Amino acid sequence: MLWTVTLLASTLTIAPREPALVPRPVESRFTGGTPFVVTDQTRLISDCAATKHLKAMFQKAAGFNLEGSGRKGTIVFRHKKDTARLRPDWYWLDVRPGQVLVEYSSESGAFYAVQTLRQLLPEQIESPKPVKGVTWSLPACSVSDGPRFGWRGMMLDVSRHFFPVSFIKRQLDTMALLKLNVFHWHLVDDGGWRIEIKKYPKLTSTGAWRVDTGEVWPGGEWNFGNIQICGDQAPKKYGGFYTQEDIKEIVRYAADRHITVVPEIELPGHSLGAVVSYPELKCLNVGPPAKPGQSLSNVYCAGNDAAITFLEDVLTETLALFPSKFVHIGADEVEKKHWRACPRCQARMKANGLKDENELQSWVVRHFDTFLSDRGRRLVGWDEILEGGLAPGATVMSWRGVQGGIDAAKQGRDVVMSPTSHCYFDYSYQAIPTQHVYAYDPVPAGLTPEQAARVLGGQYNVWAEWIATEARNEELQYPRALAMAEVLWSPKEGRKWSEFSPRMTSFLPRLDALGLNVHVSEPEVDATAVFFSGRTTVKAKGGGPGRTLRYTMDGSVPNGKSPVYRNGVTVTRPTTVTFAFVNKRGIAGPVSRVECRNPRNKDLGPLTPGLRADTYLLNGEPSRLPDLKTMKASGTSVTSVFDQAVRPRPAQFAVRWSGILRVPETGAYNFYLTSDDGSRLWLDDALVVDNDGPHGAVEKSGRAWLEKGDYRVDVRWYDQGGANSFKFEMAAPSRPKAPVPETWLFRTAGA
């Protein structure tokens, strides 16, 4: 990425010479010739509606709307004849001195050309109010472009946590920028019913609200094991819903951006919001609720004609709001045990010759497949709809891996790919890194060309059980959405992470300008702990455009006012240096901490070989290392090995090794903890390795700069049950990674 700095009159303008386009166009050539500069003299000559977005953009950010004389230059949009059938959604764009010429095959193609022009302009074009001193320069280029897939989607769960209309519009804007075109709106689930249905007002007066139990996780997320739908009369409540007017507004807003809104009305499971509002929709023989308001069943009774009629009524109102050809009916994770225990469901199975509950599920799905087909629509469902036989008109959304997609394509059915492995953006960046998303190919291996043609495309999903805030929601989407947009739009040929990664980084200031909260990685630091005498310099690096590396020395998270990092932070006394990349709005990404300490164990008295190992019995299944210092040990021994031998026999336990680590030379040491479940390592009171939390045997490492001498070492490990394992290794300046030598481990007198 090259940036040119141009001095014009007295204003300094920075325009990217070869702007970052995401998704990558099929073909683009930057000639390096004279750019086209858009001014208030520029005239737009257009035969399409999509260019209203171009005018609005300039009106907002530049204060003119392309209605100049045109003497110094024109932007021409014209329909290219006979292309719509051959190349739907395509555009051809040429930027030359004096003229920008766009030809397009369809309105959508013209809209995508507008998005490309937008990305060719400096990111200030995203500004909500006029900005001065920017040269609206379009680099000389020629682009020929159109999508690989027709379904380029994003699914948003608004049931588990509710997100307002303003949030949804902001995501639609960003989808448009990235040429995504399907907004799959997960409107109902166990967390609450979110769509107004006039015939059944209790769905939103009761079903959209839940008791605020106060039982939330550290990020403010709900414990979804304990949802109580309660109605809006309860004193403490969480919830919300979209009125039919809100929905019409969203659908219109999306259509204006060539985005189809596919509503999802989950059936026959994941429907707590509905069955608590109208309990007669439930199965018979469902036990009493464990808590007031709570339901033990979230499925509709498939044997109850009233439940089928209810769903038809709901779908009738839904169809009136959503013009989308496709309508999603969910059908994942249905708790069939309720059907097994229900005489009405069993009677339905008998009457229709259905051999098991999977076939009963298929019976329900077939019913709604016919219902939707009769009304000119097409049913989409999660891949469970394959079990018990696929309904004739159904399209399969493959989520439990890719097999559902493969099976459906082999049956000649349309599929949309959204496997958990690559497309679940509610998973952390550690679990699904952006690079991993970028490596995804929606066409599974092993399909014939005819079968591959059934893959309509794919989408990423944002499930919201663990997403309590708008900021977190956006952080999980961006920048992974950029990678997915490219996977779904751009040709597979020529796709290279090493090329995409810097282009993506260059794109981030545009997302900042749009006010989105974008995930950035934490700054790289040389060591997580530094033991020093006198003074030391702490260094950090990383980052990209639009991000400033800042730091604090008091343990707080940096903000827009914190000192800017230059060449290193000089430290003269024990402290914690906290680094983060901070965007222009003062919002910090994840932090890196460096604990700076003075060595202080000069006079420990006589030392004896071996560490002290204390063992603890735990109650329950803690999700973190308990505070062992406040607990009574069940046993104590002396050892110089860190392994499972010391562990007590019961399933839940913790071990703490404590004593002195003597390091023989000054330099950088790496420490490695592998544990199932959590473990942590401190030197003196500096946390060097943090591998806490319930998990399988994973390794985490930390790095400390140590002066030759003695350090209090404290290693703790816990296991909440099941498999357990533990390993502690270290690498010294002149010794490779290995278990800690016994001769380096001691304890003080009396320990």
Q: Would residue 384 show up in a list of annotated catalytic residues for this protein?
A: no
Question: What's the rounded Cα separation, in Å, for the pair 622 and 125?
Answer: 50
- Residue 344 site contact among ligand ACM, Zn ion, none (CB < 5 to 8 Å, cut-off depends on kind): Zn ion
Query: Smaller CB distance to ligand ACM: residue 338 or 348?
Result: 338
Taking every pair of Cα atoms in the chain, the longest distance, rounded to a whole number of angstroms, is 92
- Specify the residue, 461 or 578, whose C-beta has the smaller distance to ligand ACM: 461
Under a CB-based contact definition with an 8 Å cutoff, are residues 479 and 20 in contact?
no
Which of Zn ion, ligand ACM, none interacts with 275 (beta carbon under 5 to 8 A by kind)? none
For residue 335, state whether it binds ligand ACM (rule: CB under 6 A). no
Size of the site for Zn ion (CB under 5 A): 6
Span 633-672, contacts to ligand ACM by CB under 6 A: none
The residue (of 275 and 481) whose beta carbon lies closer to Zn ion is 275
Shortest CA distance to 269 belongs to which of 354, 152, 387, 153?
387
Q: Of the two residues 317 and 332, which places its CB atom closer to ligand ACM in the complex?
A: 332
Residue 332 touches which of Zn ion, ligand ACM, none (Cβ within 5-8 Å per kind): ligand ACM
Chain center to CA of 637: 46
- Per DSSP (E only), the strands in 146-236 are 151-157, 182-186, 188-189, 192-193, 209-211
3-state secondary structure of 461: strand
User: Which ranges of 326-467 would DSSP assign to H, the alpha helix?
Assistant: 337-340, 343-351, 357-374, 403-410, 420-423, 434-438, 449-452
How far apart are the C-alpha atoms of 705 and 256, rounded to whole Å?
Answer: 57
* 340 makes contact with Zn ion (CB under 5 A): no
**Interaction partner, residue 399 (Zn ion, ligand ACM, none; CB < 5-8 Å by kind):** ligand ACM
Q: Which of 146, 231, 303, 709 binds Zn ion (CB under 5 A)?
A: 303
Among residues 154, 342, 715, 745, which is the contact residue for Zn ion, using CB under 5 A?
Answer: 342
From the CB of 435, what's the least distance to ligand ACM, in Å?
23
Residue 658: CB minimum distance to ligand ACM, A: 44
Kindly provide the residue ranges of all beta strands, DSSP E only, lying in 387-428, ordered along the sequence. 395-398, 415-417
3-state secondary structure of 320: helix
Question: Residue 406 Cβ, how far from Zn ion at the closest point, in Å?
Answer: 33
Three-state DSSP at 194 gives: coil
Task: Choose between 342 and 688: whose C-beta lies nearer to Zn ion.
Answer: 342
| Buried-exposed string 161-175: b where 16+ CB fall within 10 A, e elsewhere | bbbeeeebebbbbbb
| CB-CB contact of 175 with 256 (8 Å) | no
Q: Between the CA of residue 439 and those of 248, 426, 436, 496, what are the distances in Å?
A: 36, 18, 5, 9
For position 301 contacting Zn ion by CB under 5 A, the verdict is yes
Which residue number, 178 or 301, has a Cβ lying nearer to Zn ion?
301
**CA 123 from chain center: how many Å?**
23
Return the SS3 of 212.
coil
**Beta strand 611-617 pairing with 653-663:** antiparallel
Catalytic residue selected from 161, 184, 258, 270: 270
* Number of residues counted as binding ligand ACM (CB under 6 A): 4
Binding to Zn ion in span 121-180, by CB under 5 A: none
CB of 306 to Zn ion, least distance (A): 11
160 or 656: whose CB is closer to ligand ACM? Answer: 160
Q: Note whether 515 and 173 are within 8 A (CB).
A: no
**Least distance CB 332 / ligand ACM (angstroms):** 4
Please identify, among the stretches 339-347, 647-655, 673-681, 731-739, the one whose residues bind Zn ion according to the rule CB under 5 A. Answer: 339-347
Select from 332, 335, 441, 526 the one that contacts ligand ACM (CB under 6 A).
332
Q: Is residue 382 a contact point for ligand ACM (CB under 6 A)?
A: yes
Binding mask 560-599 for ligand ACM (x = CB under 6 A): ----------------------------------------
58 touches ligand ACM by CB under 6 A: no
Nearest distance from residue 303's CB to Zn ion, in Å? 4
User: Which segment (237-245, 341-349, 458-466, 635-643) binds Zn ion by CB under 5 A?
Assistant: 341-349
Q: Dihedrals φ, ψ of 579, to 5°? A: -110, 150
Annotate each residue in 398-427 with x if it binds ligand ACM (CB under 6 A) or - if it does not, as one string.
-x----------------------------
Residue 51, CA distances (Å) to 71, 78, 118, 259, 330 in order? 20, 11, 11, 16, 37
Q: Which of 246, 333, 359, 387 is catalytic?
A: 333
What is the CB-side half-sphere exposure of residue 471 using CA atoms within 13 A?
7
Separation CA 409–CA 406 (nearest Å): 5
Kindly state the tokens that stand for 126: 């995203």
Which one of ligand ACM, Zn ion, none is in contact with 342 (Cβ closer than 5 to 8 A by kind)?
Zn ion
Residue 189 falls in the annotated catalytic set: yes
Contact partner at residue 345 from Zn ion, ligand ACM, none, CB < 5 to 8 Å by partner kind = Zn ion
Give, as ranges, the residues between 10 and 49 that touch Zn ion (CB under 5 A). none
**Angle ∠(578,582,587) on CA atoms, nearest 5:** 105
Partner from Zn ion, ligand ACM, none binding residue 301, C-beta < 5-8 Å depending on class: Zn ion
DSSP one-letter code for 646: G
Nearer to ligand ACM, 382 or 489 (CB): 382
CA-wise closest residue to 538 among 512, 506, 573: 573
Identify what 18 binds: ligand ACM, Zn ion, none; CB under 5 to 8 Å per kind: none
Which residue's CB comes closest to ligand ACM?
332
| Distance of closest approach, residue 333 Cβ to ligand ACM, in angstroms | 5
| Smallest distance from Zn ion to CB 391, Å | 20
Cα torsion 185, 189, 195, 198 to 10°: value is 140
Structure tokens at 471: 């900021």
Q: Which is nearer to Zn ion, 63 or 287 (CB)?
A: 287
Choosing from 157, 189, 384, 465, which is the catalytic residue? 189
Taking alpha carbons only, the member of 442, 510, 441 closest to residue 479 is 510
CB of 357 to Zn ion, least distance (A): 10
Structure tokens at 6: 């141009």
Minimum separation from the CB atom of position 313 to Zn ion (A): 19
What's the rounded Cα separation, in Å, for the pair 625 and 636? 18
Residues forming a β-bridge with 595: 529, 576
Binding test (CB under 5 A) with Zn ion, winner from 247, 283, 396, 514? 283
CA separation, residue 322 to residues 124, 212, 256, 259, 725 (Å): 34, 32, 14, 12, 53
Q: Which two tokens stand for residue 353?
A: 């010759």
Residue 37 to residues 22, 43, 45, 416, 513, Cα–Cα distance (Å): 22, 12, 16, 41, 21
Integer-rounded Cα Rg, in Å, for the chain is 30
Shortest reach from residue 326's CB to ligand ACM, in Å: 16
Q: Identify the residue among 18, 107, 256, 333 touching ligand ACM (CB under 6 A).
A: 333
For Zn ion, the closer CB: 242 or 339: 339
CB closer to ligand ACM out of 328 and 662: 328
The interface partner of residue 317, options being Zn ion, ligand ACM, none and the CB cut-off 5 to 8 Å by kind, is: none
Closest CA to 120 of 13, 22, 11, 52: 22
**Rounded least distance, CB 221 to ligand ACM, Å:** 17
Stretch that binds Zn ion, among 40-48, 279-287, 391-399, 713-721 (CB under 5 A): 279-287
Phi and psi at residue 395, in whole multiples of 5°? -105, 140
* 595 is an active site residue: no
Contact 741, 665 (CB under 8 A): no
Among 52, 344, 539, 612, binds Zn ion (CB under 5 A): 344
Shortest Cβ distance from residue 299 to Zn ion (Å)?
8
Any idea which residues carry the catalytic annotation?
189, 270, 333
The site for ligand ACM (CB under 6 A) is made up of 332-333, 382, 399
The site for Zn ion (CB under 5 A) is made up of 283, 301, 303, 342, 344-345
